[in-house]
Structure 1
Amino acid sequence: MSLTEQIFYLTIFILYCLVGILIINKAYKGKKSNVVYLGINIITNGIIYFLVFLSFSWLQYVLRDVGLIFALIFTKLTFYQDKKGPFLGFLIFTIVSGVIQSLFSIIGFFLITDISIIFLFLYIADVFFAITVMISSCWFAYAAFEAYNGIKSYDLEPFQKKRYLIFGVSGILIAFDGFLFFVFMPAMMNYILGLIIQFMIAGLIFIFIVLNYLVWVAPKFYRDFLNKGYVSSSGKEEELSEEELMKKLSAGDK
């Protein structure tokens, strides 16, 4: 592993864990238990990059779907707590995908010596991971956009409404990240192309981390920027939890 790759993996690990901890702390203080699962998802992803940094690459195949399970739980508790959704089907697929990735990675790293067959096994594992990432991220992106469309006419501060739009955009970015996994393993045969894809993935991951920091940690300057000029018709400002917003949406309240 080159020094550049080591710096990349360590930097992503630190950023993921820092933002994940901040999100969990904010969720705990605000009694938003659903958001805790998103924070755990982000920290889990950071740990995976740290394992790669330590050259325990095979462990990432074993653990990376664990983070996706937490993401699915977050989506379920945030947007589908009181209505039906595809959660169970997606959860089963994610678990099965994780088992397949684990088996293929163990075979590829420890039981095969032919480099071309090793690449094939790991690429198949990456394909399963890519599909699972796209399913998970597209689902929470869809749920976030649906929530935004449902509440954008509500008398709520702009930040509360726009954060779903921003969160949905972050989901699309990660879905594209998943797509890149389809081409990432073959591209490793070409150093230049592989490097370009690595930087693309790094850029998307960085934007995802920043967007989720702004959405769920919500520093005051950012919140004030989005709420500039807003005056509530009721004369008071209130922040509703995701659960309360979804209940209002289901009931058709304004």
Structure 2
Amino acid sequence: MTGQPPIEIDTSKPHPARMYDWYLGGKDNYPVDEEMGRQMLALDPRVPVMARVNRAFMHRATRWLAQNGVRQFLDIGTGIPTEPNLHQVAQRIAPDARIVYCDNDPIVLAHAAALLRSTPEGATEYLQADVRDPDAIVDGAKKVLNFSRPVALSLVALLHFVSDEDGARTLVDRLLAELPSGSCLMMTHATADFTPEESAAAIEKLKAVGVTLALRSREEFARFFDGLELVEPGVQVPHQWHPELGEPVPGQDDGVVPGYGAVGRKA
């Protein structure tokens, strides 16, 4: 956290982290975020449930990884702290777990103290950086994590804000290239596979305010895991990935949540 730039929050346009906070019922958002959030709800009332489903996937995947020996986590696109945070889930199982959080929204930095309440045995740190600058993320993370040991890379509800033109696949490959054998990728991603008309409208509304929404198909999502061994049950809608490791999300029914989730392991 040392040497971070002054916090300057742009409230003139919505930001995905603050919209996500609004969907989850948080207070760290602005009228511009709520306004766009309500426009998304008008297209699909399940958006808040989708946000909670993504959060619940992160909890279950972190739990699975910690139970299977992973002790280091690099969480990019952290979002505004909502308990339990990733480090709390991991350190309840493995008190010596080490976590680096990373986000590009200054409001997350303003609340980063909540992300730094590590167990005495473990460690947590926060980086103010953008996923489009993987070199900065790797350099910062190496100050806390040992890159000679397995690391879980968390990209939950993030890459649908990064276009192919911005090199989404290349960014993931660059990050994974730094991680040793036994490391894992845990990821969720929104899709238009189930709601094509509503998704097309959402893309246009967000584009009008400068927010990229790059929805990808199941096949396109699976390509992020090329070269990795998918953990069973493979690519699933997020709430169907190891549901036994968590509680059902309130408001979730048996309908399809328009997104995918998976965990893959690097050989």
TM-score of the two chains, using structure 2 as the length reference: 0.29
Max radius of gyration: which structure?
1
Give 1 or 2: higher helix fraction.
1
Give 1 or 2: higher strand fraction.
2
